[in-house]
């Protein structure tokens, strides 16, 4: 395990020397194994634990466990408590999204404050497979089917090569204690539904399902790299920007053999997704004036161009107009 871990750090995560690492540790098997592997590999580590205050005393017990473990291993441990529920209501996002935003914002600020080179999380290969199915249901395009990236700027995920069962065996072989999150078995969350209901069906059909999916996502990632270069080149040719609008010539877009995929990549950053994309493409040769809306933008189908504009809030005040 340690040899594979070190190899992945170099080849996949592009870590060329033993720099300082901020290791995200929840107390679960994945993050405990991650911190242990970094220590075994000789890296200088700082552990960062988020208490999202979602499971009452159990969340506090996780925090105490992490602090005790890091003290035992001689690792500097920094903890942070969040009002996740309050943040989710304030930002009008799901609990899962709130927790994600809170932890990554904190990790980035902490790494900058402490002048730490890398941030490592314990995402493993099964997490990547679950993300594949999540994105498949949401219609995120080709990029969403490539799984989870090994590295994104400072953020690295060096356990993506391993299945959760391998990580648990590593913990057992090395006598590593860890905590189990009781919410991981609740199927009210879509990810848990995929984990406990969907993936087991595929494993029944294909005992080598994990390896098959690792290969599939690797091929899809290569396909994405080819397509993304093409999409970038087409955007440079098609898209014109003015002070407050983006123009996309309909004729040039229609002439491209993969116009749906190209348009998806152009409009995705502005909040337009799968279902609306099909409607937009179907209306390209229709009567001008049709409009489509995302949360912050509106897209107008003009006679010659698609016009993308910020969506201004309506003024609901009443005004008396005389004469």
pLDDT value for 313: 64
pLDDT at 40: 95
The confidence score (pLDDT) of residue 320 equals 87
Separation of alpha carbons 277 and 274, rounded Å = 5
Predicted pLDDT at 184: 67
Gap between the Cα atoms of 44 and 129, Å rounded: 30
pLDDT digits (tens, 9 = 90+) for 303-312: 999 999 998 7
Beta-ladder partners of 45: 21
The predicted pLDDT at position 46 comes to: 96
When the pLDDT of each residue in the chain is averaged and rounded to a whole number, the result is 91
Residues of the chain with pLDDT under 70: 183-188, 274, 313-314
The whole-number pLDDT of residue 221 equals 93
| 156, 34 Cβ separation under 8 angstroms | no
Strand 305-310 relative to strand 297-301, pairing = antiparallel
Nearest to 1 by CA among 29, 41, 28: 41
Say what the pLDDT of residue 150 is.
95
What is the dihedral angle through the alpha carbons of 87, 88, 93, 96, rounded to the nearest 10 degrees?
110
pTM for the model:
0.83
User: What pLDDT sits at residue 226?
Assistant: 93
Please, how many CA atoms are within 13 Å of residue 218, restricted to the half-sphere of its CB?
A: 10
User: Using CA atoms, how far apart are residues 154 and 110, in angstroms rounded to an integer?
Assistant: 12
Contact (CB, 8 A) for 297 and 270: yes
């Amino acid at each position: 395990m340690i040899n594979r871990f070190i190899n992945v750090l170099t080849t996949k995560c592009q870590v060329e020397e033993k720099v300082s690492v901020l290791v995200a540790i929840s107390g679960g098997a994945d993050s405990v194994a991650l911190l242990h592997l970094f220590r075994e590999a000789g890296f200088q580590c700082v552990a960062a634990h988020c208490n999202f205050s979602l499971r009452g005393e159990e969340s506090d017990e996780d925090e105490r466990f992490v602090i005790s473990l890091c003290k035992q291993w001689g690792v500097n441990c920094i903890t942070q408590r969040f009002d996740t529920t309050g943040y989710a209501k304030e930002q009008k996002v799901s609990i899962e999204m709130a927790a994600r935003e809170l932890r990554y914002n904190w990790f980035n600020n902490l790494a900058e404050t402490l002048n730490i080179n890398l941030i490592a999380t314990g995402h493993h290969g099964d997490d990547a497979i679950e993300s594949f199915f999540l994105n498949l249901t949401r219609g995120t395009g080709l990029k969403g089917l490539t799984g989870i990236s090994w590295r994104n700027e400072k953020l690295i995920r060096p356990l993506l090569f391993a299945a959760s069962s391998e990580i648990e065996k590593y913990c057992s072989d090395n006598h590593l204690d860890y905590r189990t999150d009781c919410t991981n078995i609740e199927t009210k969350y879509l990810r848990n539904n995929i984990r406990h209901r969907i993936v087991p069906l595929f494993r029944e059909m294909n005992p080598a399902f994990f390896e098959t999916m690792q290969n599939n996502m690797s091929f899809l990632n290569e396909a994405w790299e080819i397509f993304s270069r093409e999409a970038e080149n087409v955007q440079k040719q098609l898209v014109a920007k003015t002070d407050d609008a983006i123009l996309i010539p309909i004729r040039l877009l229609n002439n491209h053999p993969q116009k749906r995929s190209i348009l998806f990549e152009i409009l995705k950053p502005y909040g337009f997704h799968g279902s609306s994309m099909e409607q937009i493409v179907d209306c390209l040769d229709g009567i001008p004036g049709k409009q489509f809306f995302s949360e912050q933008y509106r897209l107008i189908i003009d006679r010659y161009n698609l016009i993308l504009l910020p969506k201004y809030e309506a003024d609901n005040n009443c005004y008396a107009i005389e004469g």
